[in-house]
Amino acid sequence: MMRAAVLRDRRIAVEERARPEPGPGQVLLKIRLCGICGSDLHLAKHAAEIAKLGEEFGAPPQDLSRGLILGHEFIGEIAEFGPETARTLQIGDRVVSVPFLLENGVPKPIGASVDVAGAYAEYMLASEALLLKVPDEVPDEAAALVEPLAIAWHAVAKSGLPPVDAAAVVLGCGPIGLAIVTVLKMHGVEGIVASDFSPRRRELATTLGAAQAISPKDGNALAAAAAASPGKPLVIYDCTGAQGVLGVAVRDAAAGTRIVVAGIAHGEETINPMLGIAKELSIQFVVYYTPEEFAATLQAVADGRLQWRPLLSATIGLNAVDDAFRLLEDPERHAKILIAPWSDAGLPA
Amino acid sequence: MMRAAVLRDRRIAVEERARPEPGPGQVLLKIRLCGICGSDLHLAKHAAEIAKLGEEFGAPPQDLSRGLILGHEFIGEIAEFGPETARTLQIGDRVVSVPFLLENGVPKPIGASVDVAGAYAEYMLASEALLLKVPDEVPDEAAALVEPLAIAWHAVAKSGLPPVDAAAVVLGCGPIGLAIVTVLKMHGVEGIVASDFSPRRRELATTLGAAQAISPKDGNALAAAAAASPGKPLVIYDCTGAQGVLGVAVRDAAAGTRIVVAGIAHGEETINPMLGIAKELSIQFVVYYTPEEFAATLQAVADGRLQWRPLLSATIGLNAVDDAFRLLEDPERHAKILIAPWSDAGLPA
């Protein structure tokens, strides 16, 4: 048996579950750490709607009453090899993986449905072919951040920045916005303007490399970026996940601006296409990274090129996950919280 | 004096106007032909709203009661040089130009405001520095089409297709949609799927190189493209200018699809950003071309690489412009109508 934090009816409770048996090509991972992602919070609130939307697009129906084990930002150690495995790594090796489980060659997202359990648990299945060994010099905490950092890595790559010399505005300084700031900084982008209502998050953005961090109450980040980098084209990263931000960005952006939408917004978004056309804007929605981008992010962390430590705010045990989900709705308190399934740690006061 | 077709209160009437005097760096063009653009029809309907929107974004207010001379798809011959001109071309030379007039070095769009008169007139001012001589082998009709073909050239370049090997869907087969079909065909794109309610326009799309032309009543162009080019990424060119099409494209597009919005839609557009994110869609709004793209388009027309003749449907005099604007609302009758300001030709029956 094992302990797992299970989502059911918008609440998370620790349950005893059968320890999974690795199938062909699979390994059993003993989970060392797993990050709480904004998409986990989103799924906890909107699981039924998201499952319904998935069905409209051809996903099989889900029995959400079975409970869902979230968690896709994990580092684990190899506890057991299933049949038909190459075993080039060793039992006990620390590994990360893109969060997909191969079933008959088909990648299924880990920790996003009732069918493929995630890493909010003591053990989890992973596909041997996707494992990357974590270099010894990389602490567990950094390895658990590779997944969200890879999201940011990909968002920056999709924006064309670099190699284009452009100014950057990051709207929303949750973990993804902050990760984008650190990736931009790694690439040498100057004059990054970050925007968030939370003073704590603005402070983190500055620590990670933003030249300015502005509250939307006090100023306009687009105007600040234009003033700081006159004549440069602008890339806006919308990491707010808030409804209405995209429409405002389309309205306020200067000609030629690229808008990258990395925050998950629920509901509809209204934009004025005539403004989009008149200003030749582009909107790039981003979600995942490629396996190559994931591996490159791990390497950049190992090389010390990517600053990650300021992203972390607490490490907790499974019992505290439900409280953490409530706490994370207050952006003033925390950035990235990690779950250590074998720990009893509660939320810091 | 000269004759000009003047837009006032949504109607176009022929008026006598003073023949303009070329200022420093300017030339007087005797207009040979000028195309009627969809944006002209749009401006004729919505001039007041567009002027108001322009003011919100810093354009000077316009006195629309003075009347507006439209027309930015022109070929003219040089009739007179203004002061401070280099005169490397000759009086009588046939020329085209990107539709901007330089005033103290600032480019102002021709035929889009009361301040800079367009080519629905016997004469028009142009900037010498922007003129391109039309090669002798290029007929007037082809030269007048360079501007809309350059719009299509740019839209295809902005879509990344080519060099990317992707399938293409063209939604809406007005002049811009048809021009995109002919540019795609020039680039060797196979399996183009065009979509329009009008049988006549579908026929033109097929003539210009579409592999299939489908009525939205009878089938789904996206599904047809996916079936015809399995596994290929898709580029959708929205040339409908119709409200709601972008939202449907975001809903129906497969993962990784690029949506290029080339049609001018009025009003707001509602999209679901969660679908955009889940499918990593991109939306690129396009409007103008670069001067280099304009010149490359003229060259491709001269070289016979771009098929243009099927785009033409009639050539009329100034007196018939008002009727033509009404007629063009019926897509069954015409594609591109050219105005020959020195002709008396009426609309064909």
Q: Beta strands of chain A (E only): which ranges?
A: 2-8, 11-17, 26-35, 73-81, 94-97, 100-103, 106-109, 123-127, 131-133, 167-171, 193-195, 212-214, 234-238, 258-261, 269-271, 282-285, 312-316, 336-339
Q: Look at chain B and report how many structural domains it folds into.
A: 2
Q: Is A104 in the same domain as A126?
A: yes
Which pLDDT score, from 0 to 100, does residue A165 have?
A: 80
Which pLDDT score, from 0 to 100, does residue A223 have?
A: 93
Q: Is A71 in the same domain as A95?
A: yes
Whether the CB of A278 is below 8 Å from some CB of chain B: the reply is: yes
Decide if A282 and B279 are in contact by the 8 Å CB cutoff: no
Decide if A265 and B274 are in contact by the 8 Å CB cutoff: yes
- CATH number, residue A266: 3.40.50.720
Cα torsion A122, A127, A133, A134: sign: negative
**What gap in Å lies between CA B65 and CA A336, rounded to an integer?**
60
Decide if B283 and A283 are in contact by the 8 Å CB cutoff: yes
With respect to residue A294, please indicate whether it lies within any of the assigned structural domains: no
pLDDT tens per residue across span A51-74: 888 888 788 888 999 999 999 999
* Residues in chain B within 8 Å Cβ distance of A265: 273-274
Decide if B273 and A246 are in contact by the 8 Å CB cutoff: yes
**What gap in Å lies between CA B177 and CA B64, rounded to an integer?**
30
Q: Is A229 in the same domain as A216?
A: yes
Question: CB of B30 within 8 A of CB of B77?
Answer: yes
Q: Is B106 in the same domain as B38?
A: yes
**What gap in Å lies between CA B347 and CA B216, rounded to an integer?**
30
Q: Is A62 in the same domain as A129?
A: yes
With respect to residue B205, please indicate whether it lies within any of the assigned structural domains: yes
Whether the CB of A246 is below 8 Å from some CB of chain B: the reply is: yes
Residue type, position B88, single letter: T
Q: Is A228 in the same domain as A279?
A: yes
Whether the CB of B283 is below 8 Å from some CB of chain A: the reply is: yes
Whether the CB of A261 is below 8 Å from some CB of chain B: the reply is: yes
Tell me which of A275, A282, A290, A293 to substitute to probe the interface with B (most B C-beta atoms closer than 10 Å): A282
In terms of average pLDDT, the best of A156-170, A331-345, B185-199 is B185-199
Decide if A270 and B266 are in contact by the 8 Å CB cutoff: no
Decide if A268 and B265 are in contact by the 8 Å CB cutoff: no
Decide if B246 and A273 are in contact by the 8 Å CB cutoff: yes
- Considering only CA atoms, which of A269, A261, A265 is closest in space to residue A170? A261
A60-96: burial string, b at 16+ Cβ within 10 Å, e else:
eebebeebbbbbbbbbbbbbbbbeebeeebeeeebbb
Helices (H) and strands (E) in chain A, counts: 10, 18
**What gap in Å lies between CA A176 and CA A260, rounded to an integer?**
12
pLDDT at A163 over 70: no
Q: Is A276 in the same domain as A185?
A: yes
CA-based nearest distance A19→chain B, Å? 31
Which pLDDT score, from 0 to 100, does residue A207 have?
A: 97
With respect to residue B347, please indicate whether it lies within any of the assigned structural domains: no
Q: Which domain holds residue B175?
A: 148-285
pLDDT in tens, chain B (349 residues): 999 999 999 999 999 999 999 999 999 999 999 999 988 998 999 888 888 888 887 888 889 999 999 999 999 999 999 999 999 999 999 999 999 999 888 899 999 999 999 999 999 999 999 999 999 999 999 999 999 999 999 999 999 876 668 899 999 999 999 999 999 999 999 899 999 999 999 999 999 999 999 999 999 999 999 999 888 899 999 999 888 999 999 999 999 999 999 987 777 889 988 889 889 999 999 988 999 999 999 999 999 999 999 999 899 999 999 999 998 888 777 889 999 999 999 988 7
Chain B residue with CA closest to A263: the answer is B277
CA-based nearest distance A5→chain B, Å? 25
pLDDT band at A85 (very low <50, low <70, confident <90, very high): very high
Percent of chain A with pLDDT over 70: 99
With respect to residue A290, please indicate whether it lies within any of the assigned structural domains: no
Q: Is A216 in the same domain as A274?
A: yes
Which pLDDT score, from 0 to 100, does residue B298 have?
A: 97
Greater pLDDT, A39 or B34: B34
Q: Which residues 6+ apart lie within 8 Å of A290 measured at CB?
A: A154
- CATH number, residue A85: 3.90.180.10
Q: Is B32 in the same domain as B135?
A: yes
* Residues in chain B within 8 Å Cβ distance of A269: 270-273
CA-based nearest distance B220→chain A, Å? 16
- Considering only CA atoms, which of B24, B13, B8, B51 is closest in space to residue B125? B24
Q: Is B57 in the same domain as B162?
A: no
Give me the mean pLDDT over the A258-271 stretch: 86
Q: Is B99 in the same domain as B11?
A: yes
Average per-residue pLDDT in chain A?
93
Give me the mean pLDDT over the A153-178 stretch: 89
Which pLDDT score, from 0 to 100, does residue A53 have?
A: 81
Decide if B53 and A284 are in contact by the 8 Å CB cutoff: no
With respect to residue A300, please indicate whether it lies within any of the assigned structural domains: no
Task: Please enumerate, as own/partner, the contacts of B134-142 that have beta carbons within 8 Å and a separation of 24 or more.
Answer: B134/B75, B134/B94, B134/B95, B134/B96, B134/B298, B135/B298, B135/B302, B137/B302, B138/B298, B138/B301, B138/B302, B140/B32, B140/B33, B140/B75, B140/B94, B141/B33, B141/B308, B141/B309, B141/B312, B141/B315, B141/B338, B142/B301, B142/B308, B142/B309
With respect to residue B290, please indicate whether it lies within any of the assigned structural domains: no
Q: At what angle do helices A146-158 and A175-186 cross, to 10 degrees?
A: 60
With respect to residue B303, please indicate whether it lies within any of the assigned structural domains: no
pLDDT tens per residue across span A213-254: 999 999 999 999 999 988 889 999 999 988 899 999 999 999
Decide if B271 and A266 are in contact by the 8 Å CB cutoff: no
Whether the CB of A53 is below 8 Å from some CB of chain B: the reply is: yes
Whether the CB of B271 is below 8 Å from some CB of chain A: the reply is: yes
Give me the mean pLDDT over the A189-211 stretch: 95
Which pLDDT score, from 0 to 100, does residue A7 have?
A: 97
Which pLDDT score, from 0 to 100, does residue B91 have?
A: 98
* Residues in chain A within 8 Å Cβ distance of B268: 270-272
Which pLDDT score, from 0 to 100, does residue B160 have?
A: 80
Residue given tokens 């009739």 in the structure block: B79
Strand partners, A109: A100
Decide if B280 and A288 are in contact by the 8 Å CB cutoff: yes
Whether the CB of B338 is below 8 Å from some CB of chain A: the reply is: no
Q: Is B106 in the same domain as B169?
A: no
Beta strand A234-238 with A269-271 is unpaired
With respect to residue B207, please indicate whether it lies within any of the assigned structural domains: yes
Q: Which residues 6+ apart lie within 8 Å of B228 measured at CB?
A: B167, B191, B193, B211, B212
